[in-house]
């Protein structure tokens, strides 16, 4: 019997639907039991989906863990500029947001041309940008996933960045864990 026609396939010994449900339950304490240190699990679930969009392999963690925080970082800089011009320069909030979001989104997207990792990880990079903006504009409070905010808009811009980044990193981990919970096994057919 020739084995030249055999192929190797992955068999999941636990169905994906059950592994997903288990992963959600495992994630709950991180969004509900840590008080002002709770993670915004909805942002983590975005990065979890990225893990699958990027192939559901451990190699997907690198672009998530690097580019999700980097995208959020560019918007933390936007927040610093925006907060400064509203608080100290007296600009109207709509004018300041319009100008500074244009500038920093343009910079964030333009910078993508300088490293090949952006081609593989444009999804986590853009999700880091959008998740930071979601945290910033939604007025999240401590305990709701924004981290231990201080009330200082300049310090809080960086606390939001840390919590957005942690949510994205945790989401990548959840994607990896989700596949692990299927107990995959290579089988030769």
User: Model confidence over 121-160: pLDDT tens digits?
Assistant: 899 999 999 999 999 999 888 888 999 999 999 999 999 9
| DSSP codes of every residue in 83-123 | HHHHHTS---HHHHHHHHHHHHHHHHHHGGGG-THHHH-HH
CA distance 174 to 57: 12
The confidence score (pLDDT) of residue 4 equals 65
Confidence class for position 52, pLDDT limits 50, 70, 90:
very high
Q: Report the Cα 93 to chain-centroid distance in Å.
A: 27
Q: How far apart are CA 96 and CA 50, in angstroms?
A: 32
- Tens of pLDDT, residue by residue over 9-26, are 888 889 999 999 999 999
**Token match 């957005």: residue?**
164
pLDDT in tens, 78-124: 999 999 999 999 999 999 999 999 999 999 999 999 999 888 889 99
Tokens of 57: 């392999």
Average pLDDT over residues 28-47: 96
Rg (CA), the chain: 20
């Amino acid at each position: 019997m020739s084995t030249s026609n055999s192929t190797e396939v992955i068999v999941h010994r636990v169905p994906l639907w059950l592994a997903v449900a288990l992963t959600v339950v495992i994630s709950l304490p991180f969004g509900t039991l840590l008080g002002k240190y709770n993670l915004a699990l909805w942002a983590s679930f975005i990065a979890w989906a990225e893990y699958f969009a990027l192939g559901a392999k451990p190699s997907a963690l690198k672009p998530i863990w690097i580019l999700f925080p980097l995208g959020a970082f560019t918007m933390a800089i936007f927040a610093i500029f925006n907060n400064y011009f509203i608080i100290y320069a007296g600009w109207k909030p709509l004018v300041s947001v319009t100008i500074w979001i244009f500038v920093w989104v343009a910079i964030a997207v333009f910078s993508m041309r300088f490293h090949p990792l952006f081609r593989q990880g444009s999804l986590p990079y853009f999700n880091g940008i959008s998740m930071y903006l979601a945290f910033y504009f939604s007025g999240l409070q401590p305990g709701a996933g924004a981290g231990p905010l201080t009330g200082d808009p300049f310090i809080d811009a960086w606390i939001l960045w840390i919590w957005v980044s942690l949510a994205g990193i945790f989401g990548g981990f959840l994607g990896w864990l989700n596949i692990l919970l299927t107990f995959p096994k290579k089988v030769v057919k």
